[in-house]
Structure 1
Amino acid sequence: MQGIILFLNGLGWTLDMLFLLLDLNYMLVSSVVSVLCWTICFIFNLPWTLTNGILQLWEAVLGFVLMVGDSSCSLALGTVQTLVDALWGCLAGLDSLKLIWNLLCHLLFRSRELIHRGLLNITFSVQTFHRNFWEALSITGGLAAYLVNSLVNICLIAIQNILSAAVALWLSMVNVILMGAELMFMLLSQFSNSAVAVAILLWTPCQLILDGFASLSRGVGIIFYQHLYKILIFLLLAIICRIIFRPSPAVRQFQLKVIQIYRMALVLAWSLLHCEVLRRVIAKSAQIIRMFRIYGATLVRGWNLRRTRIQNPPARPATVQNPARIRERNQVPMREQNPPLRPIQSTVPNRVQNTQPATHIPQASSAFTKRGEPSQDPWKLLKQQEESKKCVICQDENKTVLLLPCRHLCLCASCTEILLQQPVHQRNCPLCRQMILQTLNVYI
């Protein structure tokens, strides 16, 4: 049956390995096919990508040329406008000079007329000459003021035209610089986008390969983790089969040495078992163990006797019968707890049996029977002690302590404290002689 189970397990492992190889083959073939598909797509899309990049570059160059021409035209128009404004200023200056010439001509004609009139009227009135003189002076001042105003206006217009031309030139230069920077940014962004697209296109097959290796390693790890013991057992069986069916010279030599050591051990064990000295040692050890057991039993019985004497002093006539009952109750569990004592005591020498203090118990019981107490059944006494509400040791206080794990409610607090002060091997329940592990106070 075990051979069939091993064969079925080996067949299952073989099928698992075949399925694993098929999965690996499928993953490898699918990864290779996907890599080939991506490579073919990249080769087919490469001319379109290059053509698109060249078209984008050509459009960028045309845009740059158009922007440079536009800025140059705007600069030329600004310069022409500045020159026209300067010419208009000059024409305004010529108009002012023409006006001055006309004024001078008018002044000359007017002065000639005035001179004629003055020469004609000089004789008439000095007051008229004085008025004409001041009129000429006012006209001259007005003409001078007009001339100064015209010159100031010409200068201001010229300065304004020069400043506007400088501002237009500066704006055109700034526009050219900004357009060049924007064009550079566009070219860099185009190149970066193309580079990112190429990187993504080249990274995708690598990522697929890495994902395939990661999934393969994860699957192999999961298989080894779930079937680690099976794999180890399979390898161990394979190694054992290899050693058994095709052992090497070193293995054969090791087998021969093991067989020789086993035979030597059998011979040595047989000689030891049939040795007289070993038999004597075993018999002596058994005798010593029996003596120690008897000595321990005597110590326990002596301690029980002393405890009953302390707990039941002879001054109380009402409780004279209790020590004998307690001793009889203690004797019954000791017989039940240590049944091998009877054959051991029967096998030891007579001098060992004579030293046991257990003979005092029948004497005490016989003494009590001599006083007139009738002998009772120990089990009835044990039942009475369990049903009584007084402590089984002092017979004065009520039972307030529950002993664990035997669950006997038989002691008061003071007797429990005295009992727990004894050594560990003497902390036993008075009713069942079971070791006390824990106590629990009960309030009734």
Structure 2
Amino acid sequence: MLIMSPNYFPLQPSLWAATAVAPPPSTSLNERLKADVVIIGAGYCGLSTALHLAEQGVNVVVLEAEEVGFGGSGRNGGQVIPGLKFDPSELLKQFGEKRGQELVDFAGSTADAVFDLIDRHGLDVPHVRKGWIQGAHTTDALKLAERRAKDWAAQGVATRLLDRDETARLLGTSKYYGSWVDPRAGGVQPLSYARELARAAIGAGVRLFTRSRVTGLERVGQGWRAAVGAAGQVDAERVVICTNGYSDDLWPDLRKSIINANSFQVATAPLPESVRSSILPEGHVSSDARNLLLYYRIDHTGRLLMGGRGTFQEPDPTRVDHWSHLEAAVAKLFPQTAGIPFEYRWCGHVAVTRDYLPHLHEPAPGVLIDIGCQGRGVGLQTRMGQAMARYLVTGDRDALPVVPSGIHTFPLYGLRRLYISAVIGWYRLTDGGV
């Protein structure tokens, strides 16, 4: 039997929790059930997989240790950006013409997956789709922007290169040398999106249980048994694990195969119109090309949100200084916000793999694991759920964007805080100031 150790993460008061739609009704599991598939984790990937399985007549149970969207799905910046860390030409070089192009096509469709679901199911999710601007903070970053724009243009995307003046107009800051625009991207209220995905899944027949931490997985006959506390139990033919940056010891070494980096965020009070009209005036979302990138947008309530990396340790919600680097970035990028207070500060975990690519694992018959959102989880994990559902129904491995691989841990995992802190320190030096 595989035992899951307790692993709780405090939830800071967030903008998303304050403005999200109500969660769908749910209860804890205190009975014995049978299903075709049991899914562990009610984030984007788990819920998308469940929804697309149920729509094909599969009997699905979802078990969530906390609440819907408790992990990264309810704590991210809400930016829906297609693509991966690597550009199309890099993926084609790494994986070859056929497999590489399939991965490029998959990565390019991730934003479509989100906005198509919102439209198809009429999800009550504040959203905008005006494109993503990646600002270039150095001349080298400007060359990177030019390359990326050309790379995606070769794939048929209507990218645009912006000079310094146009970048300043569309972002509201003069700190960048130029930028490029990907028109496929947009933004959502991320917790509302998770909750509405859950509502759609339940409507399709999925049985969803929250506050139902899986305390063990056991092979029983040709299937699996997921134990929940003293009385809960689900027997299923297949198990799908979608815990990403909040993975623990449910499956051996899974937690050690990622760095669950912190992504810090702050949000201002609603901006007065005189300021609001000067920052991202056409509704774009943005992140820049730094190694320790800054990402920002205006949400549906008119607040400016700024996100980025911070301490590797779990932040203390009572320590405002843990978010001071982001507040300083807002002041430098957008001096027009002077005097506007910050009302929300929160943090979520990002699952980063060793090769910066999403990973799938099949470590035992009937077990499928998804891990590695790389900071683009809204679109990536929604689309991954669609692909996983198709694979589970058809058995066709070509439905998967990446070939399932073995679980490989980070070297010297126990020292990860030290070496990641050293890397972050180096990036701060080499990225330059805002």
Richer in helix (by share): 1
Larger radius of gyration: 1
Q: Whose strand fraction is larger, Structure 1's or Structure 2's?
A: 2
Range of TM-score over shorter length:
under 0.3
Taking structure 1 as the reference length, the TM-score comes to: 0.17
Q: Which has the higher contact order (CA 8 A, sep 6+)?
A: 2
Q: Give the TM-score taking structure 2 as reference length.
A: 0.17
